Amino acid sequence: MNSISPQVIEDLGKVWAKAKDKNSHPPIHALVIASSNPFLYSAGADIKAFTSMDESSGAELINSAHALFRELGSEGVATIAAVNGLAFGGGCELAMSCDVRIAARSALFGQPEIKLGIIPGFGGTQRLPRLVGSNKALEMNLVGDPILAEEAFEMGLVNRVVEDHELLDTALAWARKLGAQAPIALEQIKRVSAAGDLDEGIEAEKRAFATVFASADAMEGIAAFLGKRAPDFQGR
């Protein structure tokens, strides 16, 4: 399911370290993040893994994922998300951390965390408003329902929508185009564009996530999700 688990973050981190290594020969100027699963990009955070984590390991996952996602959007390698199928929760947040998002027509985007009694934990409260505006971002985060690729394009969440069979070719074409740009100029544009209050907002999201995740409602929401039943939230 390409769930955002400690192992997935570690593996992505290893690939990213090679991609951004300025001493690599030949140098890498663009990276496409795609899924080999024909039905989904990423189903989001690994909920079962979360339930087995203590406070320390949970914080380590959050911090390492945030650090990686931050670099994807600010370092000097162009990053393109080729989104097919489901991109929910952490999967949507991974896509949002990239410079460009290309969506297959069958793609679905969503931040369903609220239905589990928790909140987006990998930047969804911060990057989503920057892409689609505060009004639509609040709607997506509060309601939790998915949106179709066409709506995501109209909102500004994705750059292009293409037929499913054209997705990877289109993403690679973008990689070639961006990878051929002046490297220093590309890096500086990314860094300046990523400046501002994002880091402060991410820190606020981390604190909010920790507070919510420790609540009884979060435990109930996760248990209901794993048990395939409707949650009974009590506001505790």
Residue 89 contacts residue 144 (beta carbons within 8 Å): no
- Which sequence positions are flagged as catalytic? 93, 113
The backbone torsions φ and ψ at residue 100, rounded to the nearest 5 degrees and listed phi first, read -135, 140
Q: How far apart are CA 70 and CA 150, in angstroms?
A: 26
Six token digits for residue 179 = 């990878």
E strands, 39-96, in order:
40-42, 78-83, 86-88
52 in Cβ contact with 100 (< 8 Å): no
With beta carbons less than 8 A apart as the criterion, state whether 87 and 10 touch.
Answer: no
Q: Which pairs count as long-range contacts for 160-165, CB under 8 Å and 24+ apart, including other chains?
A: 160/102, 160/103, 161/103, 161/104, 161/105, 161/107, 162/102, 162/103, 162/104, 162/105, 163/104, 163/105, 164/84, 164/104, 164/105, 164/106
- Count Cβ atoms below 10 Å from residue 144 Cβ, excluding itself: 17
Estimate to the nearest angstrom the gap between the alpha carbon of 227 and the chain centroid: 25
Distance of CA 60 to the CA centre of its chain: 17
